[in-house]
């Protein structure tokens, strides 16, 4: 089963769309109820302001349940990432660098093996500009090392970077561009940086996911593109993503769940949730039409029908992003670039990395 068909199955069953393995796992647990999923391992670590969750999908059964390809997924959650907190940003970048190094080890990547970094996305669309922004601040060294004596190469890895744009700009599949460049320069691994879609507005620009299962450009907004993974490139592919958009269908679906339960969640750290009786029925949501007797509020098919009428003519394609997305993209891309520079070059101390970032 392909990654897209797995995600489509997740949407059909739970009415959510997400690129985050953590959210897929949580959705299945919430809906199905088991404390653990067969073929899926989860490990969580916490420190002040940051939560690290490692999910390993070990079997095809686990992949079908979660709608994610078998492999490793690490997720760093830091609500403070949305704030201008330099100390938190640096701590998060350090943790991210350690996770990237762990993925290097799992991929069998040598200390001096060449790596191609790809900034996926459209630099003309701010929510999709994370990849191009991140590669702007990378310490690319391939051209320097080729002309440097061996004694000056210690601690530096040959790094190349490209921001190939999107199919609508180039007329070329992004995967085809990467395949050609990686083969020509002899890259031993590819790192793709891309914007993702989340099912929660709280995770927008506050969560970073790393995985070794590759990436499908445009998958978050419903586009089907050539996969960029080990199967297509023949070398390890590590994907780094940050959710910058949430589907409107997910927001509407979550709102309807609250209406069905008749309750709202209190803010974190506040009083226990109080039950609130909503005076809204499906007929009201559908523009005043009287609900048909056969409609049941808790039926998934009926819910999809109501949502489709609410969101027509953009059902399935409408996405939402924060209004301050330009500032958030700048800060998140700095964190990712700092982490990559640290993990790439042992000869550069971490304290010096952020001096090169704006």
Sign of CA dihedral 198, 201, 203, 206: positive
Per-residue pLDDT reduced to its tens digit, 118-154: 999 999 999 999 999 999 999 898 887 776 666 556 6
Per-residue pLDDT reduced to its tens digit, 27-47: 888 877 777 888 999 999 999
Tell me the C-alpha to C-alpha distance, in Å, between residue 78 and each of 88, 171, 257, 277: 8, 37, 26, 33
- The stretch 84-95 carries a mean pLDDT of 90
**pLDDT at res. 167:** 86
In this predicted structure, the answer to whether residue 196 has a pLDDT above a threshold of 50 is yes
Write down the mean pLDDT value for the chain: 81
**What share of residues in the chain are helix, strand, coil (percent, to 5)?**
45, 20, 40
Structural domains present in the chain? 40-56+72-246+323-349 (3.40.50.1450), 250-319 (no CATH)
In this predicted structure, the answer to whether residue 238 has a pLDDT above a threshold of 90 is yes
Read off the pLDDT band of 1 (50, 70, 90). Answer: very low
Per-residue pLDDT reduced to its tens digit, 265-323: 555 545 544 544 444 454 554 455 544 444 444 456 666 677 777 777 766 678 889 99
125 C-beta neighbours (distance < 10 Å), count = 13
In this predicted structure, the answer to whether residue 6 has a pLDDT above a threshold of 60 is no
Using alpha carbons, select from 72, 100, 69, 104 the residue that is nearest to residue 188: 104
| Residue 106: HSE in the Cβ half-sphere, 13 Å Cα cutoff | 18
pTM, rounded to two decimals: 0.81
Least confident of 207-221, 236-250, 254-268: 254-268
**pLDDT at res. 295:** 44
* Furthest CA-CA distance within the chain: 80
Q: Which two tokens stand for residue 103?
A: 């993925």
Using alpha carbons, select from 273, 195, 200 the residue that is nearest to residue 30: 200
Read off the pLDDT band of 114 (50, 70, 90). Answer: very high
In this predicted structure, the answer to whether residue 333 has a pLDDT above a threshold of 60 is yes
Task: Find the DSSP H helices in the chain.
Answer: 3-14, 21-32, 60-66, 86-107, 130-136, 142-145, 167-170, 174-185, 230-233, 248-261, 282-285, 300-311, 325-344, 350-353
Pick the more confident residue, 83 or 288. 83
């Amino acid at each position: 089963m392909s990654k897209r068909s797995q995600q489509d199955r997740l949407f059909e069953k739970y009415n959510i769309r997400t690129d985050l393995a953590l959210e897929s796992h949580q959705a299945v647990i919430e809906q199905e109820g088991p404390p653990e999923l067969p073929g899926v391992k989860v490990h969580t670590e916490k420190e002040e302001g940051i939560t690290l969750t490692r999910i390993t999908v070990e079997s095809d059964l686990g992949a079908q349940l979660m709608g994610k390809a078998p492999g490793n997924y690490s997720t760093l959650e830091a609500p403070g990432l949305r704030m201008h907190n330099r100390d938190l940003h640096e701590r998060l970048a350090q943790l991210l660098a350690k996770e990237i190094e762990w993925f290097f080890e799992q991929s069998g990547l040598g200390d001096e093996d060449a790596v191609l970094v790809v900034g996926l996305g459209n630099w003309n669309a701010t929510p999709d500009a994370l990849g191009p922004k991140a590669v702007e601040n990378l310490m690319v060294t391939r051209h320097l090392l080729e002309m440097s004596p061996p004694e000056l190469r210690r601690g530096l890895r040959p790094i190349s970077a490209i921001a190939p744009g999107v199919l609508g700009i180039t007329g070329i599949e992004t995967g085809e561009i990467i395949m050609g460049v990686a083969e020509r320069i002899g890259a031993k691994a590819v790192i793709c940086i891309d914007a993702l879609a989340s099912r929660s507005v709280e995770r927008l620009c506050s969560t970073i996911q790393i995985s070794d299962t590759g990436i499908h450009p445009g998958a978050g907004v419903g586009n089907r593109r050539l996969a960029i993974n080990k199967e297509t490139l023949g070398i390890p592919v590590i994907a780094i993503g940050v959710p910058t958009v949430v589907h409107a269908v997910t927001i509407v679906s979550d709102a309807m769940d609250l209406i069905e339960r008749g309750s709202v969640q209190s803010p974190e750290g506040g009083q226990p949730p109080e039950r609130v009786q909503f005076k809204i029925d499906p007929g009201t949501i559908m523009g005043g039409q009287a609900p048909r007797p056969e409609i049941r509020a808790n039926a998934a098919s009926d819910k999809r029908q109501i949502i489709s009428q609410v969101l027509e003519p953009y059902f399935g394609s409408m996405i939402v992003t924060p209004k301050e997305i330009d500032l958030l993209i700048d800060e998140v891309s700095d964190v990712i670039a700092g982490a990559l520079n640290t993990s790439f070059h042992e000869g550069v101390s971490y304290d010096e990395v952020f001096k090169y970032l704006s």
